[in-house]
Each structure stands twice: as structure tokens, then as C-alpha cells.
Structure 1
Amino acid sequence: MPLLGGVRPPIALLCLLIVALAGLTAKVLGPAGEPVVPNAVLGSQQHFAEDGAIALRASIDERVTDLNRTAAVLNAGKYTEPERVLSDLSNTYQKWTGTTVLDLESGKVLAARGETIPLGWLDKDALTGDNALTPRMVRLKTGDVRLMTMALLDWKDRPQQLLIASNSLSVPAINLGPFRSMAVVARGGEILATAGFEQAEALNSDAERDELTFLQKQMSRLSEDAAEETEEDPVSAREPGSRGYPGVSGTLLGDSYNGRIATAGYASLASADPEQRKSVGAGLGLTVVAMLPVVQEEAAGQERELYGLIAAGVLVVVGLLAAALLWRAVQRPLLALFLESRRLARGDLTRPVAVPRWGEAARVGAALERLRAQLAGGDVEPSTQRTGRRGRFGLRVPLALTAFLLLLWCVPVGLLLNRTDASVSVPSTMVNDQRDRTDLVADRVRRALNEAQADLASMTRLIDPSDADTASDVLSDALREHTRYGSLYVLDRGGDVIARAGDEPHAGWGDDEGTKGEDAPLIRVTGEGGKKPVIQAAAAVPEHKGMTLVGEIRVEFLNSLLARPGLGEVRVVDAKARTIGASDGFLAFEGLPRDSLTDLVKAGGLRVGAGPVENGLLIREGRSVTVAAAAPFSGGGVASDIGWTVVSWQNAKHFEIAAYEREDRSVLAGMLGLALIVVCLGWIHLVVVRPLRALASSAEKLADGDLKTVLYPRYHDEVGAVVRSLELVRQQLQARRQNQARRSAEPRLGAGGR
């Protein structure tokens, strides 16, 4: 008998899989305790650090690009006095803590604004070679670290000058919430800047001050660990084939204090698109660490472990019943047929065939008995009486009963056990993180719009409206450099386009609001009724009153700023709560999908309904819980007063909360049970039931006298062995019939001879 074929392997596999599934069920459905910190909280800290790293990297790259662009604009024009250079720079970009222009030949400072920039770090390597004018990190006497960005000012017949701008490496100025802190860490674990601790320094009690000291020590230790982790190559740090954050990111657990444990997420600065453009910020070797102390979770109750053990025990009992049913209804009759058919093939015809009671096995057994009678009685004529019953369903009935028994376990476990509803408790940390990350995205979008308008203001210095061809060439060059724009064009006082590059311009600047030229807002949205909102930014062309440079910002660029993992669906809406951009697909100027979200936006992001924290809201509808947050634009720049709000929401099921994880595990156990049914019972149906039904038909035809059809075994198993035995019986019957025909013909031949 074969070891890998026939009826035994699928039944044995069924038993093994049931035992394995029972063990898995006991382990995952009834853990003895939950992790001290939910995975959802750890993952949120990682996403928070990634958002901070993206914002810091974009901020550094934008500062470098802006300074280089300003130098290029100045070099293309006439000589400008150093004081005028710094004045125009501060009016266009309000982002540097200090600026300086010095003479390269003499090293003399020609002009300075803001904080004093030390020059001791300037050397030959900083100005020549492959690393010429590369940004440098410099520590001031106060202990603060500044990023020094340099650009060369070079006019014809004028000594070369060096434009230096310094800015801090602090994380974006957003609301981090109480006790949340972020740090910018250099290679080796040195903390360059922190944010968040200053909000807790106003605490008065000794216990709170002790906790603050503890957190500061934890930040120092975790920063060293994070810097060590980010030294790994980003490709090898992730699983093969995985995507997500392009740099190295992860989570860390610190020590506990007064029932709180320090959790941290870290992320190295990485280029947004490494294949297209090298990032200056990504090359500085910086890491952003976000830390938050959270309350440790209590161990789960023993009743959950009991539920898992009960479910596993019930599965074992059901599995034993199913295996016993298959053994009694399928395996034992088939093995009996195998033995009986082999006995007949060997010529043992002394005792009747033991015919099974029903199904295909009964039909085959009845046919074997008729064949035995034919072989034993010497009468080769087929008998017209059949003793086996031709069942319509046969062995499919025990298979269906077995599947029903297993479904009695799979369906309740998958659909009823550990089910959640709207009463699920969502950690307040998750709601706070949703709010803070939404605030961070709003800050990114606001800064991007401010940068877009500042770029236009810088471009206006290169545009001469009197020369349309040259102006169009300048706009084309700028459009290739700035992917955020879909089109750039210059409008005269009457709103006519005199130079353009990129896509066809939409509505004229100020047409929809009855304002023209410089009276129009610097950033606005038009295009109602169209397929896409038209986001326009503008800057007046100096020395040409009424002339305006307009740039239409691509909606795709805005959408790319909103897509962040772990934040759900994110949208930018105007003051009327109409959609301007979204992380997923949207219709132009459509409303928000829920009235509660609209109320949250119109309330300015403040608490609405049952929201546990400001700017955060829990929406409980039916059996689902949705976490939402809204962050209106705030801060400086021309985009701060346009009335836009970033709103985000996601189903709490997406969080790795223990209740949802148990529900998912229950569903997984039920699905594994269904897969077990399909695989094992399907295997039995394919290799046993179907061949046995065909065998029953062939055996009945043979017993009815069909001795011409040769029987070929398809498989080397029990059914195939019965087929081989029937073929031997057929050959014996055929030989006996031929002998009888020959003996009956001999008397007739003898009589004819006389």
C-alpha cells in the first residue's frame, strides 16, 4: 500500500492540522497577558518621528535651495549692495536666524543681520574641493547648534562675496502636547536640539519635576540607541520587498517611572525621492527621535486565557468526531473493499464478499459478490439481480457531515468570538497622536504654500515683462526646477497673459473675486465646477506696477504632502469645509463624508461632542469607532490666513489595539478552519470519492457482463488496487467465457464430421 496516496494521508493531515490549529487558538486567543505598551502606541511614535524627519529634511532642503536661488538671481542681475541683499532676503524669506555677507578675499564682514554668525569654522575645505559650499553644523558659544548654508555672490568686475545664512535644527514648531518631546540627534547620539521639554518646565510639584528629569535622561539614552540603529543601511533595515519610509525608522522602549514607560520612535532623514534628487538634509546624518511616556497596560484577565483554552478544547473534540466519522464511513469500507477484491483476484471464492451497508462502497461490494458468484458457480452469464443500492449522494454525505461538524466550530469562532463594537476603549494617546500628526501635516502644507509664494517673489527679479520671449524662457527654466507648479504666467494690469510656461492658464488672477493684480490675495483657490481645484499663488513684479507673476500649484503636489502612513484619510478643506486636496481620490470642492467632520472643521478644530481632547474626536457609529482630528492653518506666512484646515480620520480598527487584535485573530482562526475543511475534504473528494464513484460504475458494468472494457488504475492507492483486482477478475471471466465457447463448439464440430 502507498504511504503518500489513498485515503489515509488526508485524514491524517486533517488530524494534524486540527491539533495545530487548536494549539494556535489556545496561544493567540487567550494570551496570559498583553504587552506593557500597545503596538498601536509604539507604531504611532514611529510615524510621529517619520513625520518630524520629513518636515526637518524638507525644511533644510528648502533653505539651501532658497539661498542658492537667491544667489543665482543676484548674480544674474546688477551688483547689489550687501545691506540691500540681506534686506531683500529677509523680506522674501523669514526663516533664518542670522545672515552675513563677507568679502572672500579679505574675510571682512560687509553686512550682517540677526544673530551673530561665528566664522571660525570657515576654512579652505569649506570653500574649495568636492565639499565646497556644503552646509555645515556649527555650535555657538551658547551651546546651540546652527546649520550654516553658503552661496557665492559673483558679479563681473567685482570681488567675490560669500552669503552665509544660519538656522536652527529644531523640529517644526507645532503643539507636541504635555510630556511629548522630540529631539534632533547627530551621529554618535549627540542631541543637537530638543522640543517639548520646555512645555513641562513650568511644572511646580517635586514629583512632576522628578518625572521631567527622568524623561530627559531617557531621551539622552534613547537618542544614543536611535543613532546607533540609524547607522544601518536603509535597504537592509527593512524586510525584502517592503516599502514605506525611505530611511531607517523604528521604535524603542525605555525605563518606567511611576507607572509610565518611555516609548520612542526614531527616523533618519531621508530623501523623498532618492532616484531623482540628492537631498542635502539627508546627507547630514541626522535622526529625529519622538518620545512619549505612556501608562503601562495591565495584564489581561485569566478569563481570556480560559476562552482560548475552551475554544481549543472544543476544536479537538470536534476534530476527533470528524476524523472518526471519516474513518468509519470512508476509510474502513474502502480498506475492506481492497481486501475483498484482492481475495477474489487470488481465486479465494469460498466465502461471500462482506458488502458495506451503503454508498459507493456498497455498490462496489455488491458487484464483487456477483462476480464471486459468477467465478464460483461456473455460470459466466451475468446475474440480473443487484444487491447494492445506488445512492445518489454516497460518500459525499459523510464529507458534508464532516464539513458541518467543523463549521460548527469555525463559524462561531470567526464571527462571534471576541467581536468588538462601538464601546471599544481607544487609548487617549492614539487620539492625541492623531491630533498632533494632523497639526504637523497642516504645518507642512502651510510651509509649502509659503515657499511657493516666496519662490515666485524671488523669480520676479529675473522677469522683464517688456521682453515676452525672455520672460517665457525664464518661466520655463523655473518650471523645470520646481515640480510644485503646473504652470507659470505673467499677467498685466488688465489680466492678459504676456508670458507663460506649462499648462494653459485658468481663470485670470482676481477675476472671480472682482479684484485685480496686487489687490488680489497672494494665495487663493478657483475652478469651481471643474475637475480639479485651481490653487494659485502670486507675487507682484517689482518696478512694473500692475504686473503679477502667477503660479498654479499642482493638486498632485498638495496631495503628496497629505499621504502619511498610519494617519488614515487626510484632506485639506477651505473655510466652507469643501475639499481642496486629499491623500486619496476626491471630487473637487466636495463636502466631507460626515457631518461630524464638518462640525469639527467649522469649530476650528476644537472639541466637538464626545471628543476626549482638543482637536480630537471619537465618532462612535454602529459597531465602529472613528478617530478624527482637525488642524487649521496657524503660524506665519501668506498662507496662514487663507482659512484652510487639514482634517484626518481613520477607523480605530486600523490601530493595533488588543481588542481589535483579538477579533482579527478570531477571524483568522475561523478562516484557517475553513481552509482546513477545503484542503482536507477536497483532497478526499478528489482522490477517493470521485474515483470510487467511477469504480462503482465500472464494477457494475463488469458484473453486468461488460468483459470488453479494460480497467486501468489511475492512482496507486486503495481505489487503484481495487481497479487492478477487478481487471484480473475481468480477465478470468473473459478466459472462462472463451473456454466455455470453445467446449460448446467442439460437439457441434464432431457431429458435422460423422
Structure 2
Amino acid sequence: MVANKAGIEPVESGFPGGLRAPLAVVGAALCLLVAWCVIQLPAAARSGGALAVAQSQELLVNDLARATADSIGDVAGDLSTASALYTVHPDPTPAGTLAAITRGTPQALGLALVQRGVGTLLAGTGEPVPVESLPNKDIDRITVALVRDQSGATVVLTAAPLTGTDWLILVTTGLKIPAHTLSGQPAEALLLTTVDGQVVKSRGAFDPKYQPMVTAASANSTAVGSIVGDAGKGPVVDGARTTPIAVYAPILTGDPARPLGLNLVLVGSAPSQGTAQTPVETAWVTAVLAAAVLASLALLGFGFVVPLRRLRAEALGGHRRRKYRLREAAVVSAALRDEILPVKRGWISARLFVVLAVAPLLLCSAAVGVIAGEAVPNVPDLVVQGERGLAEVTAGALRDQMSASLSDLRTFATRATGDVASLKPALANLMAQNKRYRSVYVTDANGAVQVDAGRAPLRTIERPPGGSGLHQQNTAGRIPVLYASTPLPDRSHVLIGELDVTRLSSILRRSAGNGKLVDSGLRTLASADGYRAFDVLSDQALRQSVTDALGGVGRPGTDQIDGQWYVVAAATVTGSPSTDPLRWTVVLEQPLTTLPLPDNVVRRYALFAALAVGAAGLLLLGWYHLCFVRPLRRLAAAAVNLEQGDLKTVIYPERLNEIGTLSQCLDDARRQRTATTAPVPLLV
């Protein structure tokens, strides 16, 4: 007996309500994903070479650009401090005023004192200052601009109003590129360029053939980036043609930082092609994903969708009876025909079958994710050497900051005469203009503070060191006490500036990964990440890197630290008489997985594919379980009750799909059996 004798017309919703909808939607998405893997994974594996090298140099060039901006900003700080000291002992004559300012600005090429508002020259010294190039002669704060002097050279013009007067101080300084070792490939030259591509300062051999790339790089004055030229158009290196590259970063000055109109551009060459050999085999990943997708879709299609649609056709009377492996389908089929349900082996529940059908997707997702996550990328030597360059630049920036702090104090001391208490406004100005200090103060010969500015001193009261220099007072405690000191002209007082460790840490944060500043005892003084002061480096790779750097031999390389692979490089904070005795070292550790390498691109793509496959598997599992498996299991339970004689419970369709149609057919079968078993009324 089949239910369609009553003429049931199935009422089923359209897409996406049917059994085939999940396969159509998720299956199409998975097929597109496999196609994407076929195209993108091999392309990513071959995307190394020039692009990877250029991107790996962007942090280095940005660090060099910031160091250049710091040197320009130091001039503004020196000028502000000199102006503040002038107010302590003012000179009414322009010549005397200019002489006092000159002693406080040792970097100046030329100085001029002009009338504010009109620009009339009152006094000048050194090289002629292009007063006419100052765009606004009625300024009320320090400004920095890029101008040309009388010889046509590009110089930096810094202007500041002189407190208590209607005069302006103008200072011209030259442009300089921070020291950095150019060791051939990839770097050949470092250039300072204007926005129109004109080279105003260079270091290294600049080949004019790079000029079009330099012009294009100079046009972008707000962001860091790189340009890769035509493959094979660079010089021949080790018998192979290379690709020219240009990496650029803007020079930003002021607070907030604004473009000065200069860019730092690194030009050089890099290998034209990357290697297709990666730790994550792209063909293997694609094959595994494709096999998992095919297996799951085939199991769901032929093992779940097709049997249930055949059962629906059977219930409607349009299909001959078949045998079913799904237990719920067999129960419903027997109930529709009013047959005794035999107990057979080999049946499987719909819930378990759907889980097993989706399992290949989930297992594939887990396997690819684990393998890609644990893969160690191949790091070209050029990238490792670039990390050493980054450590050198970071160490140089710290050296310049600390040397500048001592230079500030020495300049300040040249004008700090008379009553010590009268220096407080000038000390406050020194603090305001130089963020490198946490406090600045004057002590007596025994180290007791006489006048101060900034936060409370951390330095323990003790007799100050003789002469000028940089010092580290403690090797234990909550905060490292690092300071610069210089005696005042009266020789009975000492000027001390405590360095702000947070400021030193901000310089370390410019570099990727985790940078640390350590002393000669391998104790941490500052760090880019959270740290405890004076924690001793515990990892052998970091200790060896610092030891090599202190010994004069920097050996950057890759090492495993706490189960993760890093590029490790170290550089000493040396190069000036004030910092050499400290024997401080910068050590950088950057995870290999964060480097701009083709291996990492492949790894990220593989992880994305694994995540997408896993999400698709869960979507299929949830869709089929909620919309079909659960209603089917309840329908099978109703069929069992029906076979056991329950003819009163109405079987309602839960959803307007194939399972809903089966519910209608089974309820129609229940009504027919109720009619045949009802007692016939007696006729009187």
C-alpha cells in the first residue's frame, strides 16, 4: 500500500529548501576554492625574488628615514633650548644675541637674526641664510622648511621666534643620511630626493638608469613602499641577471608629523625569480583538498540525497521499492507499505552517515592546517642580512639619541651661568622640546638636587661622576636609571638628564618583531614588548648573538626560540666616545612567519584554504543535520509508533521539503489504516 492513492500533491519550497541545496551551494564554493588553490598556490610559491627582497627592505628604509627626521628635529630642539637660555641672560644687541644662539646650535651652517614680520636682516654668521625663502616671516612657533641656498644646494631652514623680542632666528643645516653599511645587493645607493625626483643627497654609487624609478618613488611623500622594475634589467650578479628595485619612505617632521618634502630612497637590485620549492608543497595541498571535497560531496550525494529522493518518489507512487542502507529510510519505507520492519545488519543511522560524509573535509582541514602551521619557511640570505641592517640602524638611532642628550646638556651648560635657581624656566623648556628625557636637574657636588624639571628623579643621591658622559647607575631594580651628565661652568654643580626608558623602547618598536636593548651583562634595559627590567637573556641563541656583536663579529641567522623560528641579529650601540664605554647592544628577534616571503604567502594561503574547507564542512554538517537529519529521525520514530498500532497521533510535516512530503505520505497512510480498521455501524 502506498500513500499516493489519496492523490497527495507535495508542497515543497524552492531553493534553498531541498535536499540538493546544501550540495549545490557548498559544493560550488568548494569547487571554486579548489580552482583558486590550483591557480594561486603555485603562483605564490614563485612570487619571491625581487618583490620579497624589496618588501623586506621597507622596514630598514623607514627606520633610516625616521633617523633622518630625528636629526632634523634635533636642530629645532637645540634652537629652542638656546633661545630659552638667552632669556636667562639676554643681550640687547643683535650681534650679541646671535653669538649666544650660535654657541647652542653646533650643527648650523649659517645663522641669521631678522625682524619678525618684515624679514629685515639684523645680523648673520656662517654661510648666507636665504631669508627670502622663508614663506612666512611672521611666525609664532618653530617651523622647518626645505629651501635652496645661494649655491643651489638644498638645505633645511629652521626658524623660531625669540621670546621677549620681535626677532626671528633662522638656522640652515645640511642634509645627512644616517650611517648604514651598503654591502652591494640589494642596496647600491641611498638617496634623499625631493618630491619631483631630484637627488639632493646620496651615499653609494647611483646609476642614472634608476632615475625613472627614483622619480616614481619620490612622488609618494606620505607612505612607505617599494617599486620593482622589469625582470632581468638589473646588473649581472653571480652570473644571473637581476631586477632593479627602489624602496622609499617619507621624511616626516614635527608633532604631529608632517611631510617635509623629502623621501629617502634605497635603489639596488634583487634576484629576478624566487624558488618554487616551499615547505608546504602546493600540489600536495591542492590534491588533498580536491580529494576531500570529492569524497564528501560524493558520499552526501549518493549516500544521503539520492536515497531520500528515491524514498520520496516511492512514497508518491512513482518509483519501485528499493532497499535502503539508511536506517531511518528503511523504517519509513516499511511503514508506508505496512510491512513488519525486519532487523537487518549493515544499516547506518542518518546522523552518523552525515558525520562520516563530512569527516574528510574536517580531517583535511585539520591536516593541512597543522602541516602549514608547523612549516618553517626558507629565508634567503639577503633577507637575513637585511635584519642585520635593521639592527644596525636601530642601534644607530639609539646611539644618536643618547649622544644628542649629552650634546644638549653640554650646550646648555655653556650658557648656564649665575644663580642656579634662575635656570628652572630653561630646564622646563629643555624638557618640553626634548622627549628623550624623563627629568632634568642640577645637583651640587654631593649629588643633591638643587633645581629640577620633569618627573621626580630616579637616580640615587651620590656624588656625580667627573666630567661629561653617559652612565648606567643600577643593574637591579624596577626601572633602569640611565642618565647623561656634564659639569656647569662654576665646577660646583652638575647638570644631569635622566633618559626616558619608554622613549628608548619606542625606538626599538620601530623594528618588526621584538627588539631589546641589553647591557654588557646581558641584562634587559629596554624592550619593544613588555619586559621586566634587568631580566637576563636566557635563550642561548640571543646570548650568542649579543656576545658575537660585542666581539665585533655580527652573525645574523635563524634560530629556534621557545619552539618558534626567528631571524636573530644584534648590533652594538657604538660609534661615539660617549656610548662606547657603555657596551650596550641591540638584539632583534623577528618570527620567520612575519617576514614578506613567498613561503609565508603559500603558508597563509594554505591556512586560509584549510579554514575555508573546515568551515564548509561544518556548514554542510549543520545544514543537513538541522534541516533533514533531525526531522527524518523524528519521522522514523513516528513510523515505528505507527507500526506498533498508534493510529491517533497525527504526523505533521516540519518543513516544506522532501522530508515534509514523506511526513504527509506517512500521515496519509495512517489515515487509510484508521479507515480500514474502524468498526462498521449496524443498520437497524
Calculate the TM-score normalised by the size of structure 2: 0.84
Q: Identify the residue that residue 499 of structure 2 maps to in structure 1.
A: 553
User: Does 1:339 pair with 2:313?
Assistant: yes
2:594 corresponds, among 654, 675, 694, to 654
What's the CA shift for 1:572? Answer: 1.0
Change (3 A) 1:724 1:461: farther
In 2: Cα distance, 1:549 partner to 1:174 partner:
33
The alignment status of 1:356 with 2:356, answered yes or no, reads no
**Aligned residue type for 2:73:** D
Q: C-alpha distance in 2, partners of 1:324/1:106?
A: 85
Are residue 20 (structure 1) and residue 29 (structure 2) matched? no
Deviates more, 1:361-370 or 1:183-192: 361-370
Work out the CA distance in 2 between the residues paired with 1:265 and 1:488: 39
CA distance, structure 1, for counterparts of residue 274 and residue 447 of structure 2? 67
Further displaced range: 93-102 or 720-729: 93-102
Report deviation, 1:292.
Answer: 2.2
Aligned to 2:62: 50
Q: 1:45 to 1:311 in 2, by over 3 A?
A: closer
1:211-239 Cα shifts (integer Å, max 9, x gaps)? xxxx5214422221112233xxxxxxxxx
CA distance in 1, matches of 2:301, 2:83: 86
Q: Counterpart of 1:172?
A: 178
1:434-465 CA distance string (max 9 Å, x none): 12221111121122223333444555689799
Taking the aligned partners of 1:59 and 1:40, their CA distance within structure 2 comes to 30
Residue of structure 1 equivalent to 2:249? 267
Indicate how the Cα distance of structure 1 residues 151 and 401 shifts in structure 2: closer, same or farther if over 3 A, else same. Answer: closer
Alpha-carbon separation, structure 1, partners of 2:279 and 2:568: 30
Aligned counterparts, 1:216-235, within 5 A: 216-230=207-221
How far, CA to CA, are the matches of 1:502 and 1:134 in structure 2? 25
Q: Which residue of 2 aligns with 1:60?
A: 72
- Asked whether the equivalents of residues 41 and 429 of structure 1 are also in contact (C-alpha less than 8 Å), the reply is yes
Aligned to 2:227: 252
Aligned position for 1:578: 523
- For the pair 1:294 / 2:306, whether they are aligned, the reply is no
What is the CA–CA distance in structure 2 between the aligned matches of 1:78 and 1:132, rounded to whole Å? 19
Equivalents in 2 of 1:673, 1:532: separation in Å? 50
Q: Which amino acid in the other structure matches residue 154 of structure 2?
A: V
Cα separation, 2, equivalents of 1:607 and 1:664:
38
For residues 24-423 of structure 1, the aligned pairs below 5 Å read: 24-31=36-43, 34-35=46-47, 37-79=49-91, 94-99=106-111, 112=125, 116-119=126-129, 121-123=130-132, 128-129=137-138, 134-140=143-149, 144-153=153-162, 163-178=169-184, 179-197=187-205, 215-230=206-221, 247-254=222-229, 255-258=233-236, 259-270=241-252, 277-279=255-257, 282-297=258-273, 300=276, 308=282, 312=286, 315-343=289-317, 354=322, 356-370=324-338, 386-387=341-342, 394-406=349-361, 409-410=364-365, 413-415=368-370, 420-421=375-376
Do the aligned partners of residues 475 and 391 (structure 1) sit closer, same or farther apart at CA in structure 2, a change above 3 Å counting? farther
The residue matched to 2:16 in structure 1 has which SS?
Answer: coil
Q: Deviations over 1:139-172 (max 9, x none)?
A: 456653222323455777xxx7654432222221
The one-letter code matched in structure 2 to 1:57 is A
Q: CA deviation at 1:583?
A: 0.8
The answer to whether the 8 A contact 2:156-2:173 is kept is yes
- Equivalence for 2:456: 504
- State the AA in 2 paired with 1:490: V
Contact 2:401 2:436 in 1 (8 A): no
Measured in 2, the distance between the counterparts of 1:592 and 1:502 equals 32
AA matched with 2:305? Q
Amino acid at match of 2:609: A
Give the corresponding residue for 1:685.
Answer: 625
Is this contact kept in 1: 2:119–2:137, CA < 8 A?
no
Counterpart-to-counterpart distance in 1, 2:320 and 2:381: 78
Q: Deviations over 1:499-525 (max 9, x none)?
A: 34444322325x3xxxx2352763323
Task: Return closer, same or farther for 1:715/1:4 CA change in 2, 3 Å cut-off.
Answer: same
Equivalence for 1:534 = 481
C-alpha displacement of 1:588: 0.7
Matched residue, 1:524: 471
Q: 1:182 to 1:526 in 2, by over 3 A?
A: same
1:467/1:107 Cα in 2 relative to 1: closer, same or farther (>3 Å)?
closer
TM-aligned CA deviation for residue 183 of structure 1? 1.2
SS at match of 2:313: helix
Task: Choose 684-693 or 37-46, whichever is displaced more.
Answer: 37-46
Q: Per the alignment, do residues 389 and 455 of structure 1 end up closer, same or farther by CA in structure 2, a change over 3 Å counting? A: farther
What percentage of residue pairs aligned between the two structures are identical? 25
SS of equivalent residue, structure 2 residue 549: coil
Cα distance, 1:286 vs structure 2 = 1.5
- CA–CA distance in structure 2, aligned partners of residues 630 and 453 of structure 1: 24
1:263 shift after superposition: 0.9
TM-score of the aligned structures, taking structure 1 as reference length? 0.77
Contact in 1 for aligned 2:546/2:587 (Cα 8 Å): yes
Write the letter of the residue equivalent to 1:723.
Answer: S
TM-aligned CA deviation for residue 529 of structure 1: 3.4
Q: Which residue identity is paired with 1:535?
A: L
Are residues 316 and 100 of structure 1, via their aligned partners in 2, closer, same or farther at CA, if it must alter by over 3 Å?
A: closer
Paired amino acid for 1:166: T
CA distance in structure 2 between the aligned counterparts of 1:138 and 1:432, rounded to whole angstroms:
36
CA distance in 2, matches of 1:103, 1:14: 76
- Secondary structure class of the residue paired with 1:150: strand
> CA 1:325/1:508 → structure 2, altered by over 3 Å: closer, same or farther?
closer
Check conservation: 1:446, 1:639, Cα contact below 8 A: yes
User: Which whole-Å CA distance do the structure 2 matches of 1:393 and 1:251 have between them?
Assistant: 60
Contact 1:537 1:551 (C-alpha < 8 Å) held by counterparts: yes
Looking at structure 2, the residues matched to 524 and 693 of structure 1 have their Cα atoms a distance apart, in angstroms, of 79
User: Cα gap change, 1:712/1:648 in structure 2, threshold over 3 Å: closer, same or farther?
Assistant: same
Alpha-carbon distance in structure 1 between the residues aligned to 2:26 and 2:145: 66
Shift of 1:414: 4.6
**1:442 maps onto 2:387 in alignment:** no
Quick check: 594-603 or 481-490, which moved more? 481-490
Classify 1:456/1:80 alpha carbon distance in 2 versus 1 (closer, same or farther; 3 Å): farther
Specify the code of the residue in structure 1 equivalent to 2:181. N
Residue 163 to residue 229, structure 1, CA distance change in 2 (3 Å): closer
Q: Are 2:658 and 1:705 aligned?
A: no
Q: 1:626 to 1:106 in 2, by over 3 A?
A: closer
**Is residue 424–residue 452 contact of structure 2 (8 Å, CA) maintained in 1?**
yes
1:432 pairs with one of 363, 385, 409: 385
Relative to structure 1, is the Cα distance of residues 127 and 713 closer, same or farther in structure 2, using a 3 angstrom cutoff?
closer
Q: Letter of the 2:251 partner, please give it.
A: L
Maintained 8 Å contact 2:569/2:588: yes
Q: Which amino acid aligns with 1:45?
A: Q
CA distance in 2, matches of 1:21, 1:433: 36
Name the counterpart of 1:635. Answer: 575
Structure-2 residue corresponding to 1:203? none
Deviation at 1:309, TM superposition (A): 5.3
Q: What secondary structure does 1:256 align onto?
A: coil
| C-alpha deviation, 1:13, in angstroms | 3.3
Deviation at 1:92, TM superposition (A): 5.2
Per-residue deviation at 1:719?
1.2
**How far does residue 728 in structure 1 lie from its aligned partner after superposition?**
3.7
Instruction: State the distance in 1 between where 2:455 and 2:73 align.
Output: 27
Deviation at 1:326, TM superposition (A): 1.9
Query: 1:382 — aligned with what?
Result: none
Unpaired runs of 5+ residues, structure 1, are 198-214, 231-246, 374-384, 609-613
For 1:134 and 1:56, locate their aligned partners in 2 and report how far apart those are by CA, in whole Å: 17
